[in-house]
Each structure stands twice: as C-alpha cells, then as structure tokens.
Amino acid sequence: MASLKEVKERISSVDSTQQITKAMKMVSAAKMRRAQDRVIGMRPYADKLASILENVTEALGTDFSSPFVEAREEVNSVLVIVVTSDRGLAGAFNSNIQKEATRLVNEEYSKQQQAGRVEVLAVGSKGADFFKRRGYQVNNEFMNLFHNLEFEGARKAAEYAMDGYISGKFDKVVMVYNEFKNVATQIVRAKQFLPFALEEKEVQEDNGQEADYIFEPEKEKILSELIPKTLKVNFYSHLLDSNAAEHGARMTAMEKATENAGELLKALKLDYNRSRQAAITNEILEIVGGAEALAGN
C-alpha cells in the first residue's frame, strides 16, 4: 500500500490535470461554436453555387468541355490531400485520418506509390509529421493553413492541386478529411477532388415545358469560370468542416478526460482515507499497548 504522502501527491497531481482538461474543454467548446457557425454560414453559398453549376451544365448538355472534368485514361500519379490538426489531445481525430490515408495509398494507389508517384499534401502538422516519419513524399507548403483559416490560404492550396492536374503532374487528386456532423461525431471522408465530377440531375417532366434561362456572358464562359470557383469553395468548405470537427473531437476528449480524472480522484481519496484511518488505528494500538505495558510494570 502506498504511503499517505505518495497518495496525497497523486491526488494533487490528478486534481491539477482535471483543472487543465476542464479548461481545455471550455476553450474547445467556444472555438467549436465559432467554427460551427462558419460551416453553417458557408453551406448556403456552396449549395447555391452548385445549383448554378447544375443549371448551366444542364443547359449546355454535352456541348462543353473542361480540363477539370476530363478523367485521364491511365492514372500514373496521385496527389493525396491529408487534412489533420496542428495539435493533439483530440481523441481519434488524427489517427482515423492517418489510417484512411495510409490505406488509400497502400491499397488503391499501391502501384503509383511503388513507382514514387504519390505525393501527400499535408494540411496540418500532425499529418505532415506522421507521413514524413514513414518515408512518404510529403509537401508541407500548406501545412499551417489552420493557423489562420481564411479563404485566401485555402484558395492557394486548391490552385496548387488544380495547376498540377492541368499540367499533368497529377492524374488524380483525392482529399481525406473529417466531416463535421455534430459535437460527438466526425465522419472520415475520402473524396475525389479532381477530376471534378458533375452531378447528374434527374430529368423531371413538367407538362412538357423546360425552364428557359438567359445567360450573360455566354454559357461556356460562365462554366469555365464556375468550375474552378466551385473547386476552391469546396476545398475551403472541407477545411471548415475539419476545423469544426477537430474542436468537437477535442471537446469530447477533454470532457471524457475530466470525468476519468474525477473517478480517479474519488478512488485516490478513498485510498487516502483508508490509509489515514489505518495509520490512526495503528497509533492508537501502539499507545494502548504502551499504556498496558506501563501498568503491568
């Protein structure tokens, strides 16, 4: 059994840790609410942009072409965009992304990886460190986007992937990130970023009438500018999702850590009281034994 001093030191240590985890939970909760507001605010814009793109492509039919939607016959090189956090203490937030990205590279793109034609674009230092230690080809140029998450930084990272696809440096671009669902749930997504997949709209009959649009400028020019804009907005939207998911995961992890610290404190205080009671009992027995010895003499 540990001494009273040792148990008291452990109680003090756990109590300090609990105060830290409680404070981190409160900070993460505040950051998560702000991040969640940004995600919610971004969705209407992204949805409207997708709706406009859908209407334009429907009006054009098959009479258009874009280098961003043309799939390559053979995929020789791949860019995997891995979105993690800059800090830990967020439960399985980072490890889930790392596992999915590793599986993606080693299973689906093993041929390209063996040929040295897979590049990992790390957004977040945890992902950069993880893949560097394992010998992957890592680009950390945009690693610190979460230090000040704004559209401008996301735009530059998206343009790097888009320019690489247009030039033929990459034949496919995949993005792995956490999608924010709620405080306790983050969904790992591995989405194809390029080539851009246009959603097919179901044709619905409406008394034989079709909607008539007036386009200014011409439809082809609108589409040529709309697809790159949509790609950049989608990229930024995924980063916002990941940012909100990170704070939600850290808030949940710190809440659980605080609860565990509380349970440990209860057990330690019970041990302390038992040890203290045993020590007092021993002292009383020693005093009584001494008194009896003196009385016998």
Give the global pTM: 0.83
For the residues 203-212, what does the mean pLDDT come to?
A: 47
pLDDT of residue 28: 92
In which band, very low, low, confident or very high, does the pLDDT at 225 lie, cut at 50, 70 and 90?
A: confident
Mean pLDDT calculated for residue range 215-235: 82
* Residue 149 banded pLDDT, cuts 50, 70, 90: very high
Helices marked H in the chain: 4-60, 93-103, 110-114, 125-133, 151-167, 219-296
Measure the CA–CA gap between 209 and 213, rounded to whole angstroms: 13
- Percent of the chain's residues with pLDDT above 70: 91
**pLDDT, tens only, 173-193:** 999 999 998 888 889 999 999
Residue 132 near residue 138, CB atoms below 8 Å = yes
Reduced to 3 states (helix: H, G, I; strand: E, B; else coil), residue 111 is helix
- What confidence category does residue 50 fall into, taking pLDDT thresholds of 50, 70 and 90? confident
Could you tell me whether strands 185-194 and 172-182 are parallel, antiparallel, or unpaired per DSSP bridges? antiparallel
CB distance 158 to 65 below 8 Å: no
Rounded to whole angstroms, the Cα distance separating 44 from 50 reads 10
pLDDT average, residue stretch 264-277: 86
Question: Looking at residue 61, what is its pLDDT?
Answer: 64
Tell me the three state secondary structure of residue 106: helix
Percentage above 90 pLDDT, the chain: 58
Banded model confidence at residue 208, pLDDT cuts 50, 70, 90: very low
Q: What are the tokens at 233?
A: 């907005």
pLDDT of residue 240: 95
Confidence of residue 203 (pLDDT cuts 50, 70, 90): very low
Domain 28-198+212-252 CATH (choose: 3.40.1380.10, 3.30.2310.20, 3.90.950.10, 3.40.50.9100): 3.40.1380.10
Top pLDDT among 1 and 96 is at: 96
Residue 204 has pLDDT above 50, yes or no: no
- What whole-number distance in Å separates Cα of residue 164 and Cα of residue 93? 29
Mean of the per-residue pLDDT values of the chain: 87
Q: Which residues pair with 79 in a beta bridge?
A: 119, 173
Rg (CA), the chain: 29
Q: What is the pLDDT of residue 64?
A: 67
